[in-house]
């Protein structure tokens, strides 16, 4: 009998779909999801959601029904994992490649037969858009964090950028299967800011765009970090070759590395008519908000690590900077994890206003 998931709970977006299907595939639990993206306009599956479901079904030898554009209900019955393997997913549109990675990465970490051969994942679609992590955030914030704290080894290469609305990007990710269970971690002290780094990228636009983005970001950071003037700031300007992009576009991702092992990101995506220096300023302000919040992770990293905390062995703990409680995305990720696994989450509100998330993970391995 399948487990029924209400896709309109809490945040009610595509994250419920991605996390539910990934956990169901790993645990061998048939699920049905209804009211998918019920509050969105229009509701139901979009092309990128359907592509992600098809990808997960391929990796997990699953029977998938109802996965058509506009559908508000699907059924997913997993089989054995086909890992390690070589997989390709193409959203055709500018649908986010990083959201495709979110549904696939947990599956590629595990294999029934011990192997050091990495899986290769080729993702085609959008690489830099506003409604999903930019690929540079995934490469420089998310992946380094999960490697350090969970022991995950994954290498990401941007073969071609895909800006909205044309898409056409290509990202290749190599994921090494775990030799043991995901390790737990404790990250409760942020320490000082060690350095700030960043990438300002642009394609098929005038040459001054990149340096202007860097200038705007540096100006805001220098003012906002006046009391920490000795912090090194290194932001690269990166012009993409015309043949490496389908359409014109720009964006910037910044990240602050903390002594305690945390990392805070900030980003902005360019659009027609936006001054390049203002784009840099916007990303810097985003980064400063994350730093001023006082946590060891930013709000976007916070919700992405929940599924790995649930799968890890032992108790994990992380200090989050949300004075008003956890983000809706994070609460949703926790709800899904507790619905489908035996992981136990506990949140603690500190006198400082910060929140600590603790999780007793299930110590998952494929053979179990």
pLDDT for the residue numbered 90: 96
pLDDT for the residue numbered 38: 92
Query: Percentage of the chain with pLDDT > 70?
Result: 99
The residues that bridge with 187 in the sheet, in sequence order, are: 318
Q: DSSP alpha helices (H): ranges in the chain?
A: 14-27, 47-59, 97-108, 135-137, 143-150, 209-224, 276-293, 299-304, 306-311, 328-340
Per-residue tokens: 295: 């946590």
Q: How confident is the model at residue 329 (pLDDT cuts 50, 70, 90)?
A: very high
**Sheet hosting strand 153-160, strand order edge to edge:** 86-90, 119-125, 169-176, 153-160
Q: How confident is the model at residue 130 (pLDDT cuts 50, 70, 90)?
A: confident
Query: Which residues are part of the catalytic machinery?
Result: 329
User: Could you give the CA distance from residue 211 to residue 217 in angstroms, rounded to a whole number?
Assistant: 10
Over its C-alpha atoms, the chain yields an Rg (Å, rounded) of 20
Give the chain's end-to-end CA distance (angstroms, integer).
20
Alpha carbon 122 to chain centroid, angstroms: 16
CATH fold of 191-292 reads: Dihydrodipicolinate Reductase; domain 2 (3.30.360)
CA proximity to 213, closest of 236, 242, 241, 232: 236
Q: How confident is the model at residue 69 (pLDDT cuts 50, 70, 90)?
A: very high
Local structure of 163: helix, strand or coil: strand
Per-residue tokens: 152: 């995950």
The answer, yes or no, to whether residue 123 has pLDDT greater than 80, is: yes
pLDDT for the residue numbered 150: 98
180 assigned binding-site residue: no
Are domains 1-82 and 191-292 of this chain identical in fold?
A: no
pLDDT for the residue numbered 310: 98
CATH fourth-level superfamily of 83-179: RNA 3'-terminal phosphate cyclase domain (3.65.10.20)
| Residue 270 backbone phi and psi in degrees, to 5 | -75, 155
Query: Percentage of the chain with pLDDT > 90?
Result: 86
Sign of the dihedral defined by the CA atoms of residues 76, 38, 51, 169, in that order: negative
CA proximity to 308, closest of 278, 341, 286: 341
Instruction: List the chain domain ranges.
Output: 1-82, 83-179, 191-292, 294-368
Provide mean pLDDT across the span 205-226.
94
- Read off the pLDDT of residues 137-187 as tens digits, 9 standing for 90 and up: 999 999 999 999 999 999 999 999 999 989 999 999 999 999 889 999 999
CATH fold of 1-82 reads: Translation Initiation Factor IF3 (3.30.110)
**Sheet hosting strand 263-269, strand order edge to edge:** 233-239, 193-203, 249-258, 263-269
């Amino acid at each position: 009998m399948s487990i029924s998931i209400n896709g309109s709970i809490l945040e009610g977006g595509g994250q419920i779909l991605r996390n539910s299907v990934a956990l169901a595939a790993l645990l061998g639990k048939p699920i049905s999801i209804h009211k998918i993206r019920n509050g969105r306009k229009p509701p139901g599956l979009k092309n990128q959601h359907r592509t992600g479901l098809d990808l997960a079904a391929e990796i997990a030898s699953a029977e998938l029904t109802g996965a058509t554009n506009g559908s508000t209900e699907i059924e997913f019955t997993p089989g054995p994992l086909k890992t390690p393997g070589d997989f390709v997913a193409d959203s055709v549109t500018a649908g986010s490649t990083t959201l495709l990675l979110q549904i696939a990465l947990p599956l590629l970490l595990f294999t029934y037969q011990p192997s050091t051969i990495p899986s290769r994942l080729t993702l085609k679609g959008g690489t830099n858009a506003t409604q999903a992590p930019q690929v540079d955030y995934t490469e420089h914030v998310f992946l380094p964090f999960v490697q350090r704290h969970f022991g995950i080894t994954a290498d990401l290469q941007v073969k071609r950028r895909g800006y909205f609305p044309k898409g056409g990007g290509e990202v290749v990710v190599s994921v090494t299967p775990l030799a043991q269970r995901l390790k737990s971690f404790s990250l409760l002290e942020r320490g000082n800011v060690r350095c700030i780094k960043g990438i300002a990228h642009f394609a098929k636009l005038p040459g001054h765009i990149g340096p202007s983005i860097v200038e705007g970001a540096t100006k805001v950071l220098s003012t906002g970090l006046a009391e920490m003037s000795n912090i090194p700031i290194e932001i690269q300007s990166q012009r993409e070759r015309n043949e490496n992009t389908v359409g014109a576009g720009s964006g910037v991702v910044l990240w602050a590395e903390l002594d305690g092992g945390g990392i805070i990101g900030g980003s902005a995506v360019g659009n027609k008519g936006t001054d390049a220096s203002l784009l840099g300023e916007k990303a810097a302000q985003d980064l400063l908000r994350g730093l001023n919040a006082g946590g060891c992770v930013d709000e976007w990293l916070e919700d992405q690590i929940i599924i790995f905390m649930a799968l890890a062995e032992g108790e994990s703990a992380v200090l989050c900077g949300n004075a008003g409680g956890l983000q809706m995305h994070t609460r949703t990720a926790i709800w899904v994890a507790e619905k489908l696994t035996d992981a136990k989450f506990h949140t603690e509100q500190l006198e400082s206003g910060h929140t600590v998330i603790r999780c007793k993970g299930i110590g998952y391995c494929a053979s179990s």
